[in-house]
Structure 1
């Protein structure tokens, strides 16, 4: 059963009693929350995600409202993994970005059976394009654009590389768009499902895009790494796609990993195999998103 097939009152009850379990890629989450007004938004943005009936889950999450006695007019949301509260609370009315941030944190700190890259990952014909980048470089915007032009979204945030075979595991989650990217994607993909805009977050104005249904339904299908493209958005810049030496790509990509140093030799060998199996490029683009997508499609078509 999908979120969309669950009646709102049933979802509210499951949230209240900690029995709302869902799957995203290879991870299963159990969510308990007393923020009942959050249920309709969760149902809309998670409409295509499968509810899980398994007793085993990877992460038990509590998203709870509490009011500080000094600021009773500012209700807050607290994120707890099991019984631990790993970071400071957020305002209650930002529950969705708080949950999304918390789910990312769960995976980034616990999923060390993967080499984890800070990268967008999309695939076409099960060959994957990896977009490693620092925040503000445009990886989420490119990932959102490509998955609305026929590519499959694995993630806009995590490249999960399996050390045993070098394949990429999907983790299709809501795509976090920030600031100017929100209007850009609204114009680029008018049929895309976007959530509310949240101004004045730590990263400016934030808005989430629901991945296409196909990307969510295929969240168990692995992909073969084929291209590594380091994107950099520069307003007004001419578009440029340049081959990158493998040694430089190795060093740069290691700096975009959440756990390369932590998993030691396994991380080195996995990253080396990944670099050897991919074509590596630097990609600079300006404001024409259609042109940027066309350039990456040309790369996938073997025209470059």
Structure 2
């Protein structure tokens, strides 16, 4: 049963009582909160996710409301993971952003049976394209555009790779656009389902894009990677795709992994095999139409 198949009152009751359990890729996440404005936002943005109320949850997360010590009239929100708070409280209106950041943190620090690459991941024609990049490179923006133009979303943040078989697991979650990217996507993709603007966060203004229904429903379908593309958006820059050597790609990819050092030799062998089985490129772009056409041509060559 999907979230949108239950009435909001039941949805809100689950969140505030025993917790709402939703299936997100290979994990079940149990979310608790009594904050009704957050429940309203989640009901819209999580509408295509599958309910997993009778299943074991790998992550138990909670958003709680608390009073500010310095100003008792001010309410803030705090994220809890298994009852522990990994960071400070945030303004009340940032509840959705705090929840999404917290879930990302939970995955990054708790999942070590998979290699976690810091990468957007999309799929086309049965093959995965990895889009690893440092923050500010525009990978979430590019991922949003691609997944609304014929590519399937695996993730805008995590490349979840089984290190021995080289299989990637989809984990299609909300995609957080930031600052100028929000207006750019609204103009280019007027059909996009996007949450409200959340201003003045530590990353600027944030708005979350809902993954497509198809990407969520196909989240059990795994795939292997065929391309590794390191993207960079530069205003008014001409499209440029430059092949990388295996050594260059290895250094860039290994430095974009959350748990490479934790997995040690297993991670080294996994990345080595991944690089040898993929074509690697650096990508510079500014125009959405051009980059979509170029990536589709690349995929169609196979």
Bucket of the pairwise TM-score, normalised by the shorter protein: over 0.9
Using the TM superposition, give the Cα deviation of residue 32 of structure 1 relative to its aligned residue in structure 2, in angstroms: 1.2
State the 1:38 CA deviation.
1.6
Residue 212 of structure 1 pairs with residue 212 of structure 2:
yes
Structure 1 unaligned blocks of 5 or more: none
Matched, 1:150 2:166: no
> Which of 277-286 and 31-40 deviates more?
31-40
1:37, 1:187 → 2: CA distance? 27
Partner of 1:253: 253
Q: Provide the residue aligned with 2:31 in structure 1.
A: 31
Contact 1:153 1:172 (C-alpha < 8 Å) held by counterparts: yes
Shift of 1:53: 2.5
1:239 and 2:239 equivalent? yes
| Cα distance in 2 between the residues matched to 1:298 and 1:48 | 31
Which ranges of 4 or more aligned residues in structure 1 deviate by more than 3 Å? Answer: none
Q: Is the 8 A contact 2:20 2:53 kept in 1?
A: no
Q: TM-score if structure 2 supplies the norm length?
A: 0.98
Partner in structure 2 of residue 8 of structure 1: 8
**Distance in 2 separating the partners of 1:134 and 1:19:** 34
C-alpha spacing 1:300/1:105, structure 2 compared with 1 (3 Å) = same
Partner residue, 2:18: 18
RMSD over equivalenced CA pairs, Å: 1.1
Deviates more, 1:276-285 or 1:180-189: 180-189
When the two structures are aligned, how many residues end up with a matched partner? 302
Q: C-alpha separation between the residues in 1 aligned to 2:61 and 2:176? A: 20
1:183-235 residue CA offsets vs partner (Å, 9 max, x unmatched): 11112211110001111111111111001110000111101100000001111
The answer as to 2:140 corresponding to 1:140 is: yes
Map Cα deviations across residues 35-86 of structure 1 (whole Å, 9 max, x no partner): 1222111100001001103341101111110112321232111111112111
Q: How does 1:133-212 map to 2 (within 5 A)?
A: 133-212=133-212
Uncovered stretches (5+) of structure 2, i.e. residues with no partner: none
Q: How does 1:23-62 map to 2 (within 5 A)?
A: 23-62=23-62
**Equivalence for 2:298:** 299
State the TM-score, normalizing by the size of structure 1.
0.97
